[in-house]
Amino acid sequence: MAGKRTKQSPQNRKPADQARALWLAGLGAVSIVQKRGGELIAELITEGHELQSRAQAFAQQVSSQAAEQAKDALAPFEAEFKRNIEKLGAATQNRLASALAVLGIPSKSDIETLTQRVAALSKQLKTAR
């Protein structure tokens, strides 16, 4: 029977037979895409939207967790930074007060003390008249 074909494994086929099988597989793929192409594309688009939504949700979750971890990790440094700023401010005030005293410029407390003394003296003068 000359028209009867026997199935051979791909390794036992001749190169011409392998090429023909590949050609037929390609034609079959084109035929399937033509028949179900619209459905397949719609399905791929739907799957793409779902994947994008899952990826965005995952990225947002990871971002939120990373921000929380960074905040927790930086908290001790923030407290130390605030303490150092306060120390620096106090040291700056002390040095500035010393410089102003050397120049003979009275401090705020000196002016307040003098203001109180002047007010007390003014009150004594008014009562003495």
HEC readout, the chain: CCCCCCCCCHHHCCHHHHHHHHHHHHHHHHHHHHHHHHHHHHHHHHHHHHHHHHHHHHHHHHHHHHHHHHHHHHHHHHHHHHHHHHHHHHHHHHHHHHHHHHHCCCCHHHHHHHHHHHHHHHHHHHHHC
For residue range 95-124, list pLDDT tens digits in order: 888 888 888 888 888 889 999 999 999 998
pTM score, whole prediction: 0.37
Tell me the domain boundaries of the chain: 17-128
pLDDT of residue 109: 85
